[in-house]
Amino acid sequence: MDSQTSQTPQVPQQPHTFQVDLRGLVDLLSHHLYSSPKVYLRELLQNAVDAITARRAEQPDAPARVRLYAEEGALRVEDSGVGLTEADVHSLLATIGRSSKRAEGLQEARSDFLGQFGIGLLACFVVAERIRVVSRSARTPDAPPVEWTASDDGSYRVRTLPPDARPEPGTTVYLVARAGAGEWLAPARVLQLARDFGSLLPYDVRVGEEAVTDLPAPWDRPYPSPANRRVALARHCHDLFGFTPLDSIELNVPLAGVRGVAYVLPSAVSLAQRATHRVHLKGMLLTERAEQLLPDWAFFVRCVLDTDSLRPTASRESLYEDETLAAVRDALGERIRSWLTGLAAGDPERLADFLSVHHLGVKSLARHDREMLRTMLPWLPFETTDGRLSLEEFAQRHPVVHFTRTVEEYRQVAPIASAQGVGVVNGGYTYDSDLVEALPSVRPGTVVTELDADTVTAHMDLVDPVEELALSGFLAAARARLDPLGCDVVLRAFRPLSVPALHLDDRDTRHEQARADAEEQADDLWAGILGSLRGSAPRARLVLNHLNPLVRRIGSLGDPELIGTATESLYGQALLMAQRPLRPADSALLNRAFIGLLEWATNGEEGR
């Protein structure tokens, strides 16, 4: 039985053809591939422009016209393109996924076409329930005109027409709106969409008598002077993006097939906000939301450009991330970098205006580009103990450039360091510490060091040993009160005299405090794990100013309890001066010290 079964000849199975539900496919296009029904008009313009391009490849003197005629609920689009024969209609219009660009004789001219995907007229079903196409071939002049009529249920009919039905080569597309989509075929909407998509197309495109194309592009037009050009481009930017730019940057990169302009935003934007740009592909608007066109650091510009080298995605509403896009991104970034270098060399006032708004973008670039850091060194602003200065000017004033990595650390030490003659740069803002550390690479001989608590303390004057010995009881009481908080107490003499105490720590100290706090609140298992991570980081320090009158008066007190309360008050005040976030233990200490001082004051009043 088994042997007979194994010897039974296998009957070859017949292949099956996919069945396409056109209505389901249209729903997929309208809800998932395309962002808006408006793309139907782009598809119509694209087909018309490609047809003209194909005809002109063989007949350079052929007319190049596209005409759109809209009335409520219907649209007619005529072009003087290459046209179709009956065989072309069956092969191209009725086969989903096949592009006319694959037709014989057009492969070598493919780079001149806007479309790369065979969706074509299918997109029109997003707004139309019926499509009718009448076409006559320019390649086969003797072929009669042909009519193709399709409905959104997936059916279509093809028939030939008498020669006088369309005397000249070309194609006419008729749309009838589906229910609820009539607004997309209204005359005003058609004109607006046609101008939006087709303003840079190379052929004569009109909606009725209204011109659609507006050539040459604003960045390619001749102007009487550079000032006139800036004014014209600023007007173009306002019309397009809704803002008046600080400046405009030429984006002429012939090797990348790119022409356009970048407009500098007049106000600062969030680093997290994705910059979006307007991209035309061979004159046809591809997208208004291109995100990967420029390097991340160039978030301070908005671009509009035309290209023939970038590859669109299937929806033709964004750019495909490939090596070509990466090369274009680098080339455009270089153009913006050159603009910045030119401002630094020849127009410092405009550069200062720009940096006052967009210094973060330039700092981001300078982090990775040493030449840009060297160029911008005299201009980039930093917060320092000498005021708002460039690193170049600050380094000229101070043989050693100290910096902090956080804003909190800077606020801790800035007043004291300044009074002691120690120059400090606030490296707590975005990119600043990286740039300060890179300073020696572009300014040889510059000494850069991170400021720590030991450095600050070392610049303070020691107290006379005899005076410090006389205050040993006071210091012992103060240290005993702050020891549970992981803070030591030291006595120094420093300016300004108005500061009674300074709280000093560093990142290692804060990490150790955070670990200790977590260990105290954890269960036995986690407490053991956290305890094994205990480090040897230095403890925080409360530096009391021996020159301050209040500290001197507290040091003369004889009551250890009152000394402890006063020390807690100085500790809390030092934390608040540094604008440091308070731990729960710190908040409890402040409350306790405040209540303690009130009780002491009221008890003293009652005793008098």
**Nearest to 503, CA basis, from 481, 488, 483:** 488
Question: Residue 500: what are its φ and ψ, rounded to 5°?
Answer: -75, -30
pLDDT at 311: 81
Gyration radius of the chain's alpha carbons: 38
pLDDT at 391: 92
Strands, sheet with 204-207, edge to edge from the N-terminal-most edge strand: 156-160, 146-151, 128-136, 170-177, 74-79, 65-71, 204-207, 210-211
Evaluated on CA atoms 430, 433, 437, 443, the torsion sign reads: positive
Full-prediction pTM beyond 0.85? no
Give burial (CB, 10 Å; 0-12/13-18/19+) of 36: exposed
Taking the C-alpha atoms of residue 418 and residue 411, their distance in angstroms, rounded to an integer, is 11
Strand, helix or coil for residue 507: helix
Taking the C-alpha atoms of residue 4 and residue 562, their distance in angstroms, rounded to an integer, is 108
Taking the C-alpha atoms of residue 104 and residue 198, their distance in angstroms, rounded to an integer, is 28
Contacts of 19 (CB under 8 A, 6+ apart): none
Asked whether 73 and 182 are in contact (CB, 8 A), the reply is yes
Contacts of 500 (CB under 8 A, 6+ apart): 544, 545, 548, 550, 551, 570, 573
DSSP letters spanning 396-443: HH-SEEEEESSHHHHHHHHHHHHHTT--EEE--STTHHHHHHTHHHHS
Asked whether 96 and 120 are in contact (CB, 8 A), the reply is no
Hey, which bits of 242-332 come out as E strands?
A: 248-250, 258-264, 277-281, 284-290, 301-307
**Nearest to 184, CA basis, from 70, 92, 264, 288:** 70
pLDDT at 114: 41
Tally of residues, the chain: 608
Cross-strand bridge partners of residue 461:
493
Mean pLDDT in each 10-residue stretch from start to end of the chain (608 residues)? 52 53 58 70 90 92 95 92 87 57 39 45 82 91 90 82 89 91 92 94 94 92 93 95 94 88 91 82 89 88 91 71 87 92 90 91 88 89 92 92 87 79 90 93 91 76 88 90 87 86 70 50 50 56 90 88 89 80 79 83 60
Strands, sheet with 277-281, edge to edge from the N-terminal-most edge strand: 248-250, 258-264, 301-307, 277-281, 284-290
Measured from the Cβ of residue 149, the count of other Cβ atoms closer than 10 Å reads 15
Q: Tokens 């499509």 label which residue?
A: 131
Taking the C-alpha atoms of residue 376 and residue 362, their distance in angstroms, rounded to an integer, is 8
Measured from the Cβ of residue 117, the count of other Cβ atoms closer than 10 Å reads 14
